[in-house]
Amino acid sequence: MTDALPTTEGKGLAASAGALAGIKVVDLTRVLGGPYCTMILSDHGAEVIKVEPPQGDEVREWGPPFQGDAASYFIGVNRNKQSIALDLARPAGREVLLKLLEDADVLVENFKPGSMEKWGLGYQEVLSARFPKLVHCRVSGFGATGPRGGLPGYDAIIQAMCGLMSINGTPETGPVRMGTPIVDLATGLYSAIGILMALQERNRSGQGQYVDMTLYDCGTALLHPQAANYLLNGRRPVATGNPHPNIAPYSKFRTRTCEIFVAAGNDPAFRKFCAFLGLEGLAEDPRFRTNGDRVTNRAALTEALEARLSQEDGHALCDRMLAAGLPAGPVLNVDEALAEPHTAHRGMVTELGEFRALGTPIKLSRTPGGTRAPSPAFNQHGEAVLKRHGYTDEQIAALKDEGVLVEKRR
């Protein structure tokens, strides 16, 4: 059963049971991709039981900053979940897991491929027969098969291997890791989509299925438009910095007060942009009449625009441009972006007591999701979860004594 909606005042809180109320998720994942996926599900009402290993989810230590004994890295992606710590290396721990799965809809795990099978918990061999309606989502680096099957994967390594680093940065910097762990986050998003697809199909067939998610596939799937360009023209994409490889102007420009980003996605928008700046002649220049012309003559266009934009207050200019229907925005730091009035209006910083994190971007009209509870302490709900699944006080005490239910991180 899901926790009751909080009565504590805050921001970005759930105002309904959620679109996924009644869905039970057993979450065996750690670090980021898997927990990000299950946070999305929990934001919208799914009951998520986070089963941590004896040492805990290692991102509890990925700080500073810390709040109590939990790092911000953990706090930011584990809200609304219940934590129970089990030693799955012990047969009794695996028996508890099977008990949790008896009425579960979804199992999400990111163990190294083969681990669940080694424990006698493989989907094909065991879980699909024992729990035919279960949707089992595995998140791994490369999958279980193929030339790199079974090998470990990490966000930055996949960024390097799938080509994302090669298109980030500038010709001067060379390949640069994207500052946000984009592969992990995208894998979490794709995994949530895959799980929801499988649940939707289960409504028709009555059957669960295996959802095979890899960092490698998800990282590769982000290579647009660079992969599309290469598959059409055969030319190796290169890092272009801020400018878009297929559109101009679509880049960062200096103004008198700050840097701004301007986007003119088609020829009418470019003409309107030039008229707004009093540069009508630029739109009639043969070098810039079409988008193809502007991409070819990007350097000359950039020089002309920067000469004009350097006279402006960038913040005020962007406000005027947006009001006129022209896409533009100041380049803000993270603290500035989080303090924006529109960020608050959209509920994109959520607060519940001392808990603060990014809010859910998924806005549903009848069943809005959001924060119900802060990220849990290690094994915070262990006893409660077991009691809800039929364990007696004596059985719980025995599991503690045997080291199966872990009360303190090892």
CA 302, CA 306: separation in Å to the nearest integer? 6
Alpha helix (H) residue ranges in 206-313? 215-221, 226-233, 267-276, 280-284, 291-296, 298-309
CA 157, CA 183: separation in Å to the nearest integer? 10
140: β partners:
214
Q: Are 394 and 404 in contact (CB under 8 A)?
A: no
Show the tokens assigned to 390: 């039929």
Task: Give, as one character, the DSSP assignment of residue 19.
Answer: T
Would you call 184 a catalytic residue per the annotation? Answer: yes
86: β partners:
405
Q: Element (H or E) spanning 193, and its range?
A: helix 182-205
Closest-CA residue to 25 (of 82, 95, 87):
82
Identify the active-site residue in 27, 105, 155, 184: 184
Q: CB-based burial of residue 284 (10 Å sphere; 0-12 exposed, 13-18 middle, 19+ buried)?
A: exposed
Return the HEC string of 44-104. CCCEEEEEECCCCCHHHHCCCCEECCEEHHHHCCCCCEEEEEECCCCHHHHHHHHHHHCCC
What is the three-class DSSP state of 200? helix
Residue 350: C-alpha distances to residues 14, 63, 115 (Å): 10, 21, 36
Report, as residue numbers or ranges, the catalytic residues.
184
